[in-house]
């Protein structure tokens, strides 16, 4: 649910930590953990330069997947982030999971979150790229069941709830509050009682992600990273290499200070008994233009 990057903002900070034997151990452990997370996908273009004199904007797709034994699940959370190092800015938006679009590689239209169920990360990335008409450079896939552990590892998250509600045995009053891992997972999942439906849930997810980034950037105890890295290595996959992560940390970390977000507007429609979100061509063009304006300046 997991921007800058929900999770990797935490890992990458390790490279900037102090010196000494334990810092070296963490660096070595981080590299080993990232190697365990690494998983290649085919991309439409070479990865952009993220170090040196010609640092370019990058796009990242975050997939939140509910994986259970014997079921690879669906990508119920799809968040696109564009980082512009020159502008020191970050654009973030969610793609509603019920969005009706072509499933690339299958030859028919379905809900966009079904792409992962059909062809895992590769098909999900191809389908999202086709929907946005824009290449994606990197992806991060997170097992959502681990999300609560990530929140607890950074000491909880701060959110500003626009509407009081109860969900999964938790009460969320209106206004600012601090949530632990279990509470944050429930807060991010509720949608049927929200007047905005999936859009409201996406807003709450982005709140949590932003807070994780901010809290991770302020983690003061070097010993916390042992636990964070263990959680990540067991529950995250990405096509980033360790060296790319280090360069992103170095050159894109200030992007989190200027965050812009938007919503993809759609209209609900029942088709043969199944609910879909229909995004018209005008809205697709608006999102495409906004994304490309951010990464081409």
pLDDT in tens, 117-175: 999 999 999 999 999 999 999 998 888 777 788 888 878 889 999 889 999 999 999 99
pLDDT at 1 over 70: no
The reported pLDDT for the residue numbered 106 is 94
The reported pLDDT for the residue numbered 108 is 94
CATH number assigned to the domain with residue range 8-155+225-295, chosen from the 4 options 2.30.30.110, 3.40.50.2300, 3.30.420.590, 1.10.357.10: 3.30.420.590
Mean pLDDT, rounded, of the chain: 80
The reported pLDDT for the residue numbered 5 is 40
Average pLDDT on 24-44 reads 75
Average pLDDT on 32-55 reads 78
Better-scored residue on pLDDT, 49 or 82: 82
For residues 101 and 281, the answer to whether their CB atoms sit within 8 Å is no
For the chain, the C-alpha Rg in angstroms (whole number) is 19
Share of the chain above pLDDT 90, in %: 33
Span of 2-11, 102-111, 193-202 with lowest mean pLDDT: 2-11
Output DSSP code: residue 74: -
Q: Where are the domains of the chain?
A: 8-155+225-295
Span of 137-141, 154-158, 228-232, 241-245 with lowest mean pLDDT: 228-232
Q: CB atoms < 10 A from the CB of 69, how many? A: 4
Buried b (16+ CB within 10 A) or exposed e, 131-156: bbebebbbbbbbbbebbbbbbbbbeb
The reported pLDDT for the residue numbered 128 is 96
Average pLDDT on 30-36 reads 78
Residue 88 buriedness (CB in 10 A; 0-12 / 13-18 / 19+)? middle
Q: How would residue 6 be classed by pLDDT, with cut points 50, 70 and 90?
A: very low
Evaluate if pTM is beyond 0.75: yes
pLDDT at 93 over 60: yes
Q: CB atoms < 10 A from the CB of 96, how many? A: 23
Give the span between the Cα atoms of 62 and 196, in whole angstroms: 22
């Amino acid at each position: 649910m997991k921007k800058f990057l929900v999770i990797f903002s935490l890992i990458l900070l390790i490279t900037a930590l102090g010196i000494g034997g334990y810092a070296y151990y963490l660096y070595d452990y981080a590299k080993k953990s990232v190697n365990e997370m690494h998983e290649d996908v085919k991309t439409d273009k070479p990865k952009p330069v993220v170090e040196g004199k010609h640092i370019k904007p990058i796009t990242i797709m975050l997939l939140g997947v509910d994986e259970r034994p014997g079921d690879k699940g669906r990508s119920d959370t799809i968040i696109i982030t564009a980082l512009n190092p020159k502008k020191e800015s970050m654009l973030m938006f969610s793609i509603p999971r019920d969005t009706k679009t072509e499933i690339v590689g299958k030859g028919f239209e379905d809900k966009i979150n079904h792409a992962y169920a059909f062809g895992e990360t590769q098909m999900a990335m191809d389908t999202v790229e086709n929907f946005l008409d824009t290449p994606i450079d990197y992806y991060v896939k997170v097992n959502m069941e681990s999300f609560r552990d990530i929140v607890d590892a950074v000491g909880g998250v701060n959110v500003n709830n626009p509407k009081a509600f109860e969900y999964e045995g938790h009460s969320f009053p209106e206004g600012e509050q601090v949530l632990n891992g279990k509470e944050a997972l429930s807060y991010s999942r509720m949608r049927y009682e929200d007047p905005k439906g999936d859009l409201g849930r996406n807003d709450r997810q982005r709140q949590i992600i932003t807070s994780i980034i901010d809290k991770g950037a302020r983690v003061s105890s070097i010993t916390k990273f042992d636990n964070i890295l263990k959680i990540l290595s067991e529950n995250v996959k990405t096509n980033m290499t360790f060296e790319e992560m280090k360069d992103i940390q170095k050159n894109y970390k200030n992007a989190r200070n200027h965050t812009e977000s938007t919503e993809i507007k759609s209209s609900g429609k029942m088709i043969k008994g199944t609910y879909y979100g229909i995004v018209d061509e005008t809205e697709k063009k608006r999102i495409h233009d906004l994304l490309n304006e951010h990464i081409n300046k």
